[in-house]
Structure 1
């Protein structure tokens, strides 16, 4: 993936996070309150936004420090983490399929791995 692609992905995921958050707050509010999953939905949106911004950061770093190898992998970890962590929580909230909550920590591990790998890449290359 190029820096441009990573920046576009980060921007799209950020915009999508705002849309999903607004939909949850307005369109799904009664359903989420009735099932007691409002906080879970908000957590999914929050972590999507944090890591979408992280992907944008990686894109900027790729432009600023083109010699820093490994930044793409950190961004990929964030993308996988968003998909599994936030995605599983969205599915749980919308469908009530409880086993989706069991895979959520896998996404969290990818998110943690993305930050740790980013720190390692920066320490090694800058």
Structure 2
């Protein structure tokens, strides 16, 4: 599980840099301010959870294991995909109903943080 978390965190970090630069340069003149803010939020949360995945991967490498840590890694991975992914698509398409999907990703991220807290406290 540590290898997966470290790889996912690294990939999300890489994509975050690419999408951040793309948003700041290529999209800056093409998107209205409200959609630029949505894009920025997606990048920001992706970076936070890339770091969370790297941290969880390091904890797993140091011997912290169990269902709670696995759940945290899953919540961070899937939650980032759904949360940031839905915001990226919303910003590019302008289709506002996609915002209804975003809270599902947010709930997965919150669940990931709760699971990480449990994994650390139970140790």
SS in 2 for 1:30: coil
In the other structure, the counterpart of 1:25 is 24
Tell me the alpha carbon deviations over residues 90-114 of structure 1, each in whole angstroms, 9 at most, x when there is no partner.
0000011111101111111110110
Deviation at 1:35, TM superposition (A): 5.7
Q: How many residue pairs align between the two structures?
A: 122
Deviations 1:63-87 (A, max 9, x none): 1124x31212211101111111100
Q: Tell me how far apart the structure 1 counterparts of residues 110 and 5 of structure 2 sit (CA, whole Å).
A: 19
- Matches for 1:1-126 after TM superposition, within 5 Å: 2-32=1-31, 34=32, 36-66=34-64, 68-70=65-67, 71-124=69-122, 126=123
Cα RMSD of the aligned pairs, angstroms, is 1.2
Q: Quote the Cα distance in structure 2 between the aligned partners of 1:75 and 1:62.
A: 10
Q: Which runs of 5+ in 2 are unaligned?
A: none
Corresponding residue SS for 1:28: coil
> TM-score when scaled to structure 1?
0.92
| Residue 5 of structure 1, CA deviation | 2.1
Please list every run of 5 or more consecutive structure 1 residues that lacks an aligned counterpart in the other structure: none
Separation in 2, partners of 1:98, 1:85 = 14
Give a deviation string over 1:16-73, Cα, whole Å, max 9, x none: 10100000000111122x363111111000000001110111100001124x312122
Structure 1: 4+ residue segments shifted above 6 A: none
